[in-house]
Amino acid sequence: MRFLLEVRLLLGRSLRGTLRNPVWMIMGLFQPVLYLLLFAPLLNNLKMPGFAHANSLNIFTPGLLVMMALFSAGFAGFNVCEDLRSGVIERLRVTPASRVAMLLGMILRDVIIFLAQCTLLVLIAILMGMTIDPPGALVLFGLMTAIAVMMASASYAVGFILKNEGALAATLNTVTLPLMLLSGVMLPLSLAPQILQNIAKFTPFSHAVDAARALVNGHLTDQSVGIAFAIIGGLLILAVFWAARVFRKATA
């Protein structure tokens, strides 16, 4: 019970800080909405292999959700750099609170913000004409939550190691941009040359995008869903363990 109380208190502190300065939360949604409004309509007349009769929004929006997870949750480590510079981490060191509770409080803040952004993006897509399967949407949000926890944890770990926003931004952009392009976020990988399709099979987010598209269209039993949850689940465990280890050392 004490652990849960500490998580709740630290989550509340993190949320209050974000709500006082919601710029990152707004900017994290601004770019995907622009893509949805200005890029998605261009796909209406594009005949994509394997998606010839599908609603273009049902193809494009799931990819945008994964892109948001990569960049919104993936850049959560900037909060750590600010807390280190302002002395927040130093003050937390002298408290008896669990180090894991501190970490989970920060990660849950990022997950809550990300899910709020996802909800708004999906609502806008529905207003534009996207159709979504309700049970599939629930499973989809579960997958997005797992991706957000994984990305936020890894970002916090890197943030504690680098301790500098400039170095963190360069590192994250170097990693996330190729992953995004190789995941078929903007367009299905069925349009890509065979060599890129083969490379994409080794990127976890390409499987997440395939699963997200299957879930939006109600294909809950599609094999891509199980593959995505297995891969993202394994990476989530590794990322949380890594972040907890680095966080303990930073607050020891």
Q: Name the nearest CA neighbour of 25 among 78, 96, 66.
A: 78
Structurally, the chain folds into a number of domains equal to 1
H helix runs in 163-203, sequence order: 165-181, 194-200
Could you report the per-residue pLDDT of 44-76, keeping only the tens digit for each?
Answer: 766 666 555 567 888 889 989 999 888 888 888
168: its two tokens: 């963190």
As to burial, measured by CB atoms within 10 angstroms (0-12 exposed, 13-18 middle, 19+ buried), residue 19 is exposed
What 3-state class would DSSP assign to 218? coil
Q: What are phi and psi of 51, to 5 degrees?
A: -135, 25
Q: Is residue 43 within a helix (H) or strand (E), and if so which, with residue range?
A: none
pLDDT for residue 48: 64
Q: Which structural domain range is residue 208 located in? A: 2-250
Return the pLDDT at 193: 82
Three-class SS state of 155: helix
What is the residue-level pLDDT of the chain in tens, covering all 252 positions?
A: 777 887 777 778 777 766 776 666 677 678 888 888 888 777 776 666 655 556 788 888 998 999 988 888 888 888 788 777 777 777 777 777 677 778 888 888 888 889 988 999 999 999 988 889 899 999 999 999 999 999 999 999 998 888 888 888 888 888 888 888 888 887 777 777 888 888 888 889 999 999 999 999 889 999 999 999 999 999 999 999 999 888 877 665
Tell me what percent of the chain is helix, strand and coil, each rounded to the nearest 5: 80, 0, 20
Do residues 66 and 209 lie in contact, with contact meaning Cβ atoms separated by under 8 Å? yes
**Could you tell me the pTM of the whole model?**
0.87
Q: What is residue 76's three-state secondary structure?
A: coil
Residue 84 pLDDT: 78
Element (H, E) at 87: none
**pLDDT for the residue numbered 51:** 56
